[in-house]
Amino acid sequence: MDLKEAVKDKIPWDGTLPLNEFSLSASTFSDKWKMFNHSFPPWLWNPCPKHHLNSSHKVEGYLSLENVCLVKSCEEEKNHGSLSWKEESNISQAEEPFDHATLVCPEFEANHYDFHIVYSPSYRVPVLYFRSYYSDGQPLPLGEIEKDLPGHSAELLLESKWTFITQEEHPYLNRPWYKLHPCGTRDWMKLLLSDTYTSSNKNFIEQYLVSWFSVVGQVVGLKISLEMLNIEEKKLFETTASDIFE
């Protein structure tokens, strides 16, 4: 395997994820997600037979987490910035005693979010796409999304309107979606993981998406359970996550 050889030769890893490792890393991520994030629907793999022709390119596809419903509690509405997520489906409050998002709020308006993780061959990293809509299917204006975002993201959004979250066409769906701009991903992934990399971690690439999402998820207020990370990664994460957003 190229990567192992690379370790031997002490070549610094460049922070990217090879295309042919994306689907593997994606399945590891969705398995772990299922294990540790019960309150959310699972991430599903959507294969993309781009040209409806032959299926030899099984590697192509994207992950999706759809119809996540944001319920704002009254208290959180006031504090604005710390939000929780809840799947809209049949999970009742009784089953989810730790979910703080279920405070009943009179006349709340639920905002729905779809998230996709798509591989970018240009940047050679995963990219988070999302869209949001009201219960009636009408898309949320950016100003509304901004209110849903955690405080630090909302600030960033204001400062760098065109470079942080941009509206772009979904590479497979021909529709406008929001996208977290990936040009810095390689660098912060390197910062986040290069130590684990040299410490002979075999599952390193497999873990790529988990580590990546631990950061990217926070931007949109989706916190992953830290159980998903390895112990060493957890430590690293705690020390580096704050730097990334500065």
Partner 1 sequence: MSEAQKYVWKGAIPLQIHLHESEVTTLPPPPPALVLAPRIGYLPLLISLLKPHFSATLPPGVDTIWFEYKGLHLKWYIPTGVLFDLLCMEPERPWNLTVHFRGYPSNLLLPCEGEDSVKWSFINSLKEAAYVITGNCKNIMNMSQTDQVDLWGSVLNGNLESYSRVSSKLKLETFEDEYTENVDSASTKSQQSTGDAEAVGQVKTSRIPVRLYLWAVNEDFDDFEDAPVIDNWDKVSYINRPVEIHKEDGKYFSLNDAVKRLLPEYFPESSFGNEGDASINQSAGEEGENSCDPESSSHTVEIAEIKCVRIQGIEPSLEVPFSWVVNNLMNPEYFLHMCVCLKVSEANALQ
CB of 54 to partner 1, least distance (A): 6
Q: Which of 48, 69, 105, 183 is catalytic?
A: 183
CB of 164 to partner 1, least distance (A): 11
In angstroms, the Cα distances linking 145 to 11, 134, 151, 191 are 41, 11, 12, 29
CB nearer to partner 1: give 36 or 133.
133
CB nearer to partner 1: give 12 or 42.
12
CB nearer to partner 1: give 93 or 167.
167
Task: Find the DSSP H helices in 91-160.
Answer: 142-148, 151-159
CB nearer to partner 1: give 56 or 92.
56
**Does 105 participate in catalysis according to the annotation?**
no
In angstroms, the Cα distances linking 51 to 48, 56, 63, 70, 172 are 8, 11, 19, 35, 11
CB of 3 to partner 1, least distance (A): 10
Q: Locate 58 and state its tokens.
A: 């099984």
CB-based burial of residue 3 (10 Å sphere; 0-12 exposed, 13-18 middle, 19+ buried)? middle
The beta-strand segments (E) located in the chain are 44-47, 61-70, 86-87, 111-120, 125-134, 165-169, 176-180
User: What does residue 165 show for φ and ψ, rounded to 5 degrees?
Assistant: -110, 120
CB of 34 to partner 1, least distance (A): 27
CB of 142 to partner 1, least distance (A): 9
For binding to partner 1 (CB under 8 A), which residues are involved? 2, 5-6, 9, 11-12, 14, 18-20, 50-57, 59, 121-123, 139, 162-163, 166-169, 171, 174-176, 181, 183, 186-187
CB nearer to partner 1: give 36 or 45.
45
* 83 and 220 Cβ atoms separated by less than 8 Å: no
Place of tokens 């890393």: 25
| Residues identified as active-site | 183
